[in-house]
Amino acid sequence: MEKLVIDGGLPLHGEVLVSGAKNAALPILCASLLTDGACTFRNVPRLRDVETMAALLRFMGAETDVTPPVVNVRGASVARPEAPYELVKQMRASVLVLGPLVARHGYAKVSLPGGCAIGARPIDQHLKGLEAMGATIKLDHGYVVAECKRLHGASIHLDMATVTGTENLMMAAALAKGRTQLIGAAREPEIEELARVLNKMGAKVDGAGTDVIHIEGVEVLHAVDHAIIPDRIEAGTFLLAVAATGGDVFVRDAIPEHMEPLLAKLRAAGAEVLREEGGIRVRSEGARSLKGGDIATAPHPGFPTDMQAQFMAVMTLARGTSVVTESVFENRYMHVPELSRMGADIEVHGRVAVVKGVAGLSGASVMATDLRASACLVIAGLTSTDRTEVLRVYHLDRGYESIEKKLRPLGARIERVRGGG
Ligand code: EPZ
């Protein structure tokens, strides 16, 4: 196991480049299953989750060449439209092969993802939508078996704005016969990016980014060569790190339009956030100079749940009290006990966490539990003048490309060390 050792307390200065968006890359890699053509994806981040997805595509028989930031996939040779438990349990996003496989091969056998650290995260909406399009769905020893000779269009009302549910159904509808409406669709920038890729492949998707998406099914989709949008969550994590430590950093390739809710909260807290050519600049005197602020996470364009833990790290030091409400997942406060061990003053009542700013956090050995909780602990460690060790850093590597290599040039004292619990 590896850990990150951080000797914080220093402001951050300079420029950092954002990698491609993990949560755009994962569905887009699955879109390659919809065509026999050879697809090329660029600006793909070098992440564990990308490697896991490529391994799943290879398991099914697709040809892949993974040399981030370029990934080539040819789905023509898929002979086994199945996603085994061993791979799905590593990464829930594996369920994104379900829609493309049923649409292209008329059959899919995908392990149910099971819960994860942040909640139950069922896929009932994915299955309901596929059934509406004519698939028969069977549960078989922990696997979903979905079959349909040819999916047909349908009008599908989603009970909640599920991101991967919207993506799965958009991909399935692209090759269905007739017209599909996804009502109550998720509106994340990654949904719009997937629609752009599908349309470049010859699909007819309209309305992505709004809560009603129209898809006119087509007979065939062709190969695509596409560069993936930057990762708004990684970008936001860097902005919050500078807000916490103080300093002046230019986050290159960050797209302000994808990040408005976070930018508004950073400005309200008193950080200076500037749109500049090619990215976003953030300036701050450090978390102790900031005002506490309330957030309630919500589907886009609300405050992203994937930024909640990182924002909370800053609020543990900001002046006053901040009320954090996690409305999307039922258990996304795994970072709270670890922050408390560093001296944070946080009380959790169900989905609400009340954070009272303290004068400083002490270093500690802390345990990462999920991807964004790990990022939160790195931010907390960067503010503390004594040593922090973030264990189980594999969680972090799922969604952050060598975070220590990106932080060191900004002045952070952070090393990756072998060993640790
Ligand atoms: C996506 O997960 C992201 N992952 C998550 O990012 C992100 O936190 C989440 O959307 C919310 O924005 C990818 O895009 C690969 P949901 P997803 O379906 O699609 C419930 C990260 O850190 N729900 O939008 O799995 C579900 O339980 C990860 O990068 C159902 O009840 O999330 C949850 O409470 C973590 N039934 C809520 O909806 C369903 O069929 C939102 O889930 C589907 C979802």
Question: Whose alpha carbon is nearest atom 21 of ligand 1?
Answer: 306
Q: Are strands 12-17 and 247-252 parallel, antiparallel or unpaired?
A: parallel
Q: Which atom of ligand 1 is nearest to the CA of 121?
A: 27
Whether the predicted pLDDT of 419 surpasses 80: no
Q: Calculate how far, in angstroms, residue 91's C-alpha sits from the geometric centre of ligand 1.
A: 12
Percent of the chain exceeding pLDDT 70 equals 99
pLDDT tens per residue across span 315-340 = 999 999 999 999 999 889 999 999 99
* The pLDDT of residue 126 is above 80: yes
Phi, psi at 283, each rounded to 5°: -130, 140
Residues in the chain: 421
Residue 368: its pLDDT value, please?
A: 81
Q: What is the mean pLDDT of residues 290-305?
A: 98
Phi/psi at 38 (5° precision):
-90, 115
pLDDT for 119 equals 76
* Range scoring the smallest mean pLDDT among 11-25, 111-125, 334-348: 111-125
pLDDT value at position 120?
74
CA–CA dist 274, 339 (Å, integer): 29
Contact 88, 96 (CB under 8 A): no
Average pLDDT value for the chain: 96
pLDDT of 230 above 70: yes
Q: What fold, for 22-227?
A: UDP-n-acetylglucosamine1-carboxyvinyl-transferase; Chain (3.65.10)
Q: Is the CB of 159 under 6 A from ligand 1?
A: no
Cα 188 to Cα 217: distance, rounded to the nearest angstrom: 22
- Give residue for tokens 């349909």: 148
The SS3 call for residue 136 is strand
Query: How far apart are the C-alpha atoms of 197 and 315, rounded to whole Å?
Result: 38
The pLDDT of residue 420 is above 70: no
DSSP conformational letter for 292: P
Q: Which fold has domain 2-18+230-418?
A: UDP-n-acetylglucosamine1-carboxyvinyl-transferase; Chain (3.65.10)
Q: What spacing in Å lies between the alpha carbon of 192 and ligand 1's midpoint?
A: 16
* Residue 61: HSE in the Cβ half-sphere, 13 Å Cα cutoff: 12
Q: Flag whether pLDDT at 115 surpasses 80.
A: no
Q: Which residue has the tokens 């990762």?
A: 231
Q: Are 175 and 221 in contact (CB under 8 A)?
A: yes
Residue to mutate (ligand 1; options 48, 130, 164; most atoms within 8 A of CB): 164
Q: Among positive and negative, which fits the CA dihedral 322, 296, 266, 315?
A: positive
pLDDT at 421: 58
Candidate from 101-110, 393-402, 406-415 with smallest mean pLDDT: 393-402
Identify whether 148 is a catalytic site residue: no
pTM above 0.85, yes or no: yes
**Which strands make up the sheet holding 82-83, listed edge to edge?**
82-83, 107-111, 143-147, 136-140
| 52 touches ligand 1 (CB under 6 Å) | no
Could you check whether 2-18+230-418 and 22-227 share the same CATH topology?
Answer: yes
Query: pLDDT tens-digit profile of 127-184?
Result: 999 999 999 999 999 999 999 999 999 999 999 999 999 999 999 999 999 999 999 9
| β-bridge pairing 247-252 and 279-284 | antiparallel
CA 102/CA 110 separation, integer angstroms: 11
Q: What is the mean pLDDT of residues 281-291?
A: 98
| 3-state secondary structure (DSSP) of residue 375 | helix
**Confidence band, pLDDT 50/70/90 cuts, at residue 41:** very high
- In this structure, are residues 25 and 45 in contact, taking their beta carbons and an 8 Å threshold? yes
Q: What is the pLDDT of residue 113?
A: 85
Helix (H, G, I), strand (E, B) or coil at 35: coil
Position 330 scores a pLDDT of 87
Q: Give yes or no for residue 399 CB within 6 A of ligand 1.
A: yes
Domain ranges of the chain: 2-18+230-418, 22-227
Q: Which is nearest to 45 in space by CA: 28, 69, 63, 26?
A: 69
Q: How many CA atoms lie within 13 A of 279 on its CB side?
A: 20
Concatenate the DSSP letters of all residues of 222-253 into one string: ---EEEPPB-HHHHHHHHHHHHHH-EEEEEET
The proportion of the chain whose per-residue pLDDT surpasses 90, expressed as a percent, equals 95
